[in-house]
Amino acid sequence: MSIQTIMVVGAGQMGSGIAQVAASAGRTVLWHDLSTQLLDTGVTSIRQQLERRVIKGKLTEVEKAEILSRILPAPVIDEAVQVDLVIEAISENMAWKTALFQKLDGICAPHVILATNTSSLPITEIAAATTRPSQVIGMHFMNPVPVMPLIEIIRGLETSQVVFDAIFQLSQELGKTPVEVQDFPGFVSNRILMPMINEAVFTVYEGVATVDAVDTVMKLGMNHPMGPLELADLIGLDTCLSIMEILHEGFKDSKYRPCPLLRKYVKAGRLGRKSGQGFYTYSS
């Protein structure tokens, strides 16, 4: 199964990274978002990132131009009719994702694979919204996509072996390391990472240590490159809370209960780097 033309849906941070990586691997990328402004901003961001690689000598001007030429803004989602694969990278909202997959199911040719970049929602439930559940799969890229080598490849209940093999091979061609994961809440990465972040929030909430102390312990004592609260700010506290709620609902286990302090920060709009304040304060 040859995958040469890919539609990426979503012009946020993850969608931008996926578009850049796919175009860098020689694929034609149709990039769709409801907001043309976000698409324009995304293309500018990719251009700036590629320019930095040129300055560092890791990319030539010709290669930069070729990559950018392969990223084609697609303001109309009906352009998905011409692709081999769609990778969805919109917000972690099941209703939005299932509505999108239903729409894509009606647009795309029968052979087209529909992939979701969800970090925690069930692939099987998303697939059930389509008439092609055997061709729906999870491709959970890590943030930032151009830098992080991992992709979790998640099978839904009915994902076919042919589709799995095609996506596994494509992931390698994108320069990533794919790892097979089954369809459980949080998969592997967030099932382990998010409870650690949540527990770090609890240590601050209970007065065990300050924010800086918690991060210092984990960096110097456990050799983590970033402290869990720094990482939470980078991911977005609203995203962390959403994933914890999905884990709590999916497993019905109190060990996944989101910390009240995490809820309080999200309600206050302290979402981390993207809002300028989370556990730390960031200058604009």
| Alpha helix segments (H runs only) across the chain | 13-24, 36-55, 61-69, 94-107, 123-127, 161-173, 189-205, 211-216, 222, 228-235, 237-251, 260-267
| β 5-9/85-88 pair status | parallel
Active site residue 140: yes
Q: How far apart are CA 251 and CA 226, in angstroms?
A: 28
Task: Select which of 16, 24, 117, 152 is catalytic.
Answer: 152
Active site residue 111: no
Task: Select which of 140, 171, 230, 242 is catalytic.
Answer: 140
CB 91 within 8 A of CB 118: no
With b meaning 16 or more CB within 10 Å and e meaning fewer, what string describes 235-273?
Answer: bbbbbbbbbbbbbbebeeeeebebbebbeebbeeebbbb
Cα atoms in the 13 Å half-sphere on the side-chain side of 73: 15
Task: Select which of 117, 190, 198, 242 is catalytic.
Answer: 190
Q: How far apart are CA 32 and CA 73, in angstroms?
A: 6
| Rg of the chain (C-alpha set) | 19
CB 240 within 8 A of CB 271: no
Which residues are known to be catalytic?
A: 119, 140, 152, 190
